[in-house]
């Protein structure tokens, strides 16, 4: 069954777009990009999209501002070519962590970024394990149709396939991680513990103590790993109560500032992550999840 839609891509999600197209049977329209001498971006879409729905893949890691402009240019080009609708497939959405005005004078960044995506002309959005905490539903952030998919069952399945223990203690580092840790716990049918975290700065965190456990292994679950400081704190707590094998599951891995090296040196057995952000540590692709979702919504009219 082929999709009744074509796929385009931004520079941060080209490989994921091609994987999804291969699984779904969707046609890919090519996007050529270059920079003008002054740093401005230029894009050109090659292909026939008139009257068609187009899924534009883009992730917003590391250089979200630049990538947003690139995405906006692609969407405008497609609209100018007469496409019917643009569906933003945005596996990793930046600025979602600032989901409240924590201090006077701060922006509500999650809504600002969502409104900028809407302003490009995007008609619908799909994300993967978006950081939702104070906003409980993605529809509280976007005013256009939006769906937040989860990769946690895929990640838990990979953990088990590679010899992970179905009885491992599942640990969520903070209350925000409960939504993801609970899904992994259900997949494993194991105990789940949610800790409390206090953020002391951009690179410093403190997590609550763990009770003793007679289990020999644990898996830490969160939506993303950036500096790795939270994982390091939890690894230390697990070591103190005698846990011998510690793995981690996270949908999005930014792994900045040598985070992976520090985690490995701290004794992390494995980090299981996805290709929502292209990185050398990817173990699981979300392409099957995205292909299935797009097929269910747009497939079958041919």
Which residues belong to the active site? Answer: 197
- Residue 2 CA to residue 173 CA, distance in Å, equals 41
- Residue 199 CA to residue 240 CA, distance in Å, equals 21
- Residue 82 CA to residue 67 CA, distance in Å, equals 23
Beta-bridged to residue 272, according to DSSP, are: 249
Find tokens 């969502």 and name the residue. Answer: 114
What are the b/e assignments for 12-47, b being 16+ CB within 10 Å?
bbbebbebbbebbebbbbebeeeeeeeeebebebeb
Q: How far lies 56's CA from each of 5, 6, 182, 227, 260, in Å?
A: 11, 9, 31, 29, 30
Cβ atoms < 10 Å from Cβ of 48: 12
Query: What's the token pair of residue 66?
Result: 């630049």
Cβ atoms < 10 Å from Cβ of 302: 8
- Residue 139 CA to residue 178 CA, distance in Å, equals 20
∠ CA 36-60-151, nearest 5°, is 150
Nearest partner of 46 among 4, 81, 3, judged by Cα: 81
């Amino acid at each position: 069954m082929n999709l009744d839609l074509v796929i385009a891509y931004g520079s941060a999600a080209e490989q994921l777009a091609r994987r999804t197209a291969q699984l779904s049977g969707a046609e890919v329209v090519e996007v050529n990009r270059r920079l003008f001498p002054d740093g401005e971006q230029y894009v050109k879409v090659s292909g026939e999209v008139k009257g068609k729905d187009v899924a534009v893949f883009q992730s917003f890691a590391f250089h979200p501002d630049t990538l947003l402009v690139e995405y906006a240019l692609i969407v405008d080009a497609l609209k100018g070519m007469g496409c019917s609708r643009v569906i933003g497939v945005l596996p990793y959405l930046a600025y979602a962590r600032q989901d409240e005005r924590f201090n006077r004078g701060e922006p509500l960044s999650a809504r600002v970024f969502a409104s900028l995506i809407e302003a490009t002309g995007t008609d619908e959005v799909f994300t993967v394990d978006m950081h939702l905490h104070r906003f409980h539903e993605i529809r509280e952030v976007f005013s256009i149709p939006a769906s937040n998919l989860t990769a946690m069952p895929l990640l838990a399945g990979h953990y088990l396939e590679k010899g992970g223990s179905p009885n491992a203690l599942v640990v969520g580092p903070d209350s925000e991680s409960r939504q993801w840790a609970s899904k992994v716990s259900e997949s494993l049918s194991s105990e789940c513990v949610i800790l409390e975290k206090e953020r002391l700065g951009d690179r410093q965190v403190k997590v609550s103590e763990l009770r003793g456990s007679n289990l020999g292994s644990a898996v830490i679950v969160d939506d993303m790993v950036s500096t790795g400081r939270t994982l390091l704190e939890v690894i230390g707590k697990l070591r103190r109560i005698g846990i011998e094998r510690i793995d981690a599951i996270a949908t999005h891995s930014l792994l900045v500032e040598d985070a992976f090296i520090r985690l490995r040196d701290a004794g992390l057995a494995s980090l299981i992550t996805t290709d929502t952000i292209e990185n050398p540590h990817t173990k699981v692709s979300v392409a099957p999840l995205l292909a299935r979702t797009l097929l269910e919504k747009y497939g079958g009219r041919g």
